[in-house]
Structure 1
């Protein structure tokens, strides 16, 4: 069950207004596999609040001079760390393990 932050219901125009990023820049981040919006039946991109946070992090990394492939590596590392934490938590809960 997803939270309101994860529901992909926000259009690219609203995302652009909220973030200050141009629609072209947002689509570029999608092309570079940094963001993954859903699509409506009509093909409209739909974003979540979590996506908006991710876009702001991407923009900050770009301002710091990072390349898109470097940002993707950072995202992959962060996602792996979250997955690893979740797995450890599930194992601890299942086997009643404590640190």
Structure 2
């Protein structure tokens, strides 16, 4: 039995619905994809599919763009956040291992 993906991360929403929810144009949404700020999946027919998490990310991106932040700066910020998140997860797992097995690893 596999681990179920959280509903917020399931890529099931079409670009038309994303457009309606965000107020962004198709072109803006595709541009953010081209700039590697969001990562929709493609259906068998080639349509883009987005998640609720993608929609939240698009809203944050749009706000930053409106505030004058450049897309390359947003991408750098996202990369830093991912790096910090991975470090936090590693630290949490190490803490759980230490608690479970009474070991310490530098």
Pair 1:49 & 2:52 matched: yes
TM-score, length of structure 2 as denominator length = 0.88
Contiguous gaps of at least 5 residues in structure 2: none
1:77-88 superposed matches below 5 A: 77-88=80-91
Pair 1:17 & 2:55 matched: no
2:42 aligns with 39
Q: How many residues align?
A: 97
Query: What's the C-alpha RMSD, in Å, of the aligned pairs?
Result: 1.0
Q: Quote how far apart the aligned CAs of 1:84 are.
A: 1.0
Q: Quote how far apart the aligned CAs of 1:16 are.
A: 0.5
1:3 to 3, 6, 9: 6
TM-score, length of structure 1 as denominator length = 0.94
Contiguous gaps of at least 5 residues in structure 1: none
